[in-house]
């Protein structure tokens, strides 16, 4: 009852790399449990800094019922300037709490977990919105760790992809990701000279940038039937959102914090542009035609971190890769 484990990032990354396909199913089940109401997922709390307007640390508390039956919180920092020093933008920890007692029982390095749940969510959304697991071209805008993980999850889900077309404002980043895709993932990858070249003819578009406000504003940027994974949430103008089909992971969560869907709500004064949530697409309650662009905007729910984190912790314990901290709790009895 009073055991406390630590799972480091190297272990988490190893378990995730061996389990990507299973984690897509874990994320799918978490979405369905959340849709059924078997969860508690409060709004995220953003800690911002006057001297660093682009930086933030976010708290995501949640509870996920069902077989997981765990509470917890992810504490994740996003400091975009880190990349100038070749340091990953995001760092995170995840605490898991026993639902019966409230006691924390594990602390996991969570940047790997956060990236994995984001990637699993994106690839799951792509398959459901596109209706197949094959694409002649997948455009990837942004070439950081999230983009890399999404590509790896496409491969783990056995997608047939003719080409990954990469674009980044820093071409060297795109070239590095292209090399990884060719040599580490085994898929064809090219670097596009411009954003429009990358987007043109793509079946799926992955937006994985650190953009703080929309820069994709041309109404002809996307094509009817094209699936756009709006992972970074703030790349697309309100007008494009309003002219598209829009699937979110959670309506109330996504329509906050100046995301592209939130800007669309503010501009239109309503939520009529929201087609539904991903769980409804999975359950067949929402279907989308091919006469408009289909945008999936996943805000990133804390219940997904719990689902993936609980899986990683369980596998780490089963394989002897978790570090148990003896006597972590100073008192385990009220008296005696």
Q: How many residues appear in the chain?
A: 336
pLDDT in tens, the chain (336 residues): 689 999 999 999 999 999 999 999 999 999 999 999 999 999 989 999 999 988 999 999 999 999 999 999 999 999 989 988 999 888 999 999 999 999 999 999 999 999 999 999 999 999 999 999 999 999 999 999 999 999 999 999 999 999 999 999 999 999 999 999 999 999 999 999 999 999 999 999 999 998 989 999 999 999 999 999 999 999 999 999 999 999 999 999 999 989 999 999 999 999 999 999 999 999 999 999 999 999 999 998 999 999 999 999 999 999 999 999 988 998 888 886
**Token pair of 327, please?**
């006597």
Asked if 28 and 282 count as a contact pair (C-beta separation under 8 A), the reply is yes
Q: Are the beta carbons of 320 and 283 closer than 8 angstroms?
A: no
Beta bridge partners of 5: 106, 324
Among 261, 260, 257, 259, residue whose Cα is nearest residue 275? 261
Helix (H, G, I), strand (E, B) or coil at 172: helix
- The two tokens of residue 109 are 């390095």
- Report the DSSP pairing between strands 227-229 and 204-207: parallel
Q: What is the pLDDT of residue 39?
A: 98
Alpha-carbon 194 to chain mean position: 25
pTM of the model: 0.94
User: For residues 292 and 57, what is the distance between their CA atoms, to the nearest angstrom?
Assistant: 36
Residue 336 has a pLDDT of 66
pLDDT computed for residue 52 by the predictor: 92
Backbone angles phi, psi at 233, to 5 degrees: 75, -20
210: closest CA among 171, 168, 180?
Answer: 168
pLDDT confidence of residue 335: 87
Residue position matching structure tokens 């995730």: 16
Q: What are phi and psi of 292, to 5 degrees?
A: -135, 165
Contact of 304 with 117, CB cutoff 8 Å: yes
2 contacts: CB under 8 Å, gap ≥ 6? 103, 328, 329, 332
């Amino acid at each position: 009852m009073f055991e406390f484990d630590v799972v480091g990032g190297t272990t988490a990354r190893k378990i995730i790399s061996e389990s990507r396909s299973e984690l897509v199913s874990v994320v799918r089940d978490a979405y369905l449990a959340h849709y059924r109401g078997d969860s508690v997922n409060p709004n995220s709390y953003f800690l911002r800094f006057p001297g660093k307007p682009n930086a933030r640390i976010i708290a995501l508390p949640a509870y996920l019922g069902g077989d997981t039956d765990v509470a917890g919180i992810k504490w994740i920092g996003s400091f975009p300037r880190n990349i100038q020093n070749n340091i990953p933008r995001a760092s995170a920890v995840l605490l898991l709490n026993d639902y019966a007692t409230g006691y924390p029982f594990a602390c996991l390095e969570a940047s790997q977990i956060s990236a994995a749940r984001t990637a699993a969510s994106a690839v799951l959304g792509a398959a459901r919105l596109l209706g197949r697991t094959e694409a002649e071209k997948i455009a990837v805008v942004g070439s950081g760790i999230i983009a890399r993980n999404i590509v790896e999850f496409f491969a783990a889900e056995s997608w047939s992809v003719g080409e990954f077309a990469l674009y980044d404002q820093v071409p060297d980043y795109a070239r590095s990701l292209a090399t990884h895709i060719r040599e580490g993932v085994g898929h064809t990858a090219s670097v596009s000279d411009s954003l429009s070249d990358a987007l043109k003819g793509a079946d799926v578009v992955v937006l994985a940038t650190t953009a703080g406000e929309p820069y994709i504003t041309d109404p002809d940027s996307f094509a009817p039937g094209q699936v756009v994974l709006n992972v970074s949430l703030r790349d697309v103008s309100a007008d494009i959102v309003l002219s598209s089909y829009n699937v979110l992971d959670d309506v109330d969560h996504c329509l906050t914090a100046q995301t592209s869907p939130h800007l669309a709500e503010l501009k239109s004064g309503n939520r009529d542009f929201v087609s539904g949530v991903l769980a409804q697409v999975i359950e067949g309650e929402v279907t989308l035609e091919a006469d408009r662009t289909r945008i999936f905007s996943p805000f990133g729910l804390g219940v997904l971190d719990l689902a993936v984190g609980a899986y990683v912790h369980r596998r780490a314990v089963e394989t002897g890769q978790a570090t148990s901290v003896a006597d972590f709790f100073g008192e385990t009895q009220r008296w005696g």
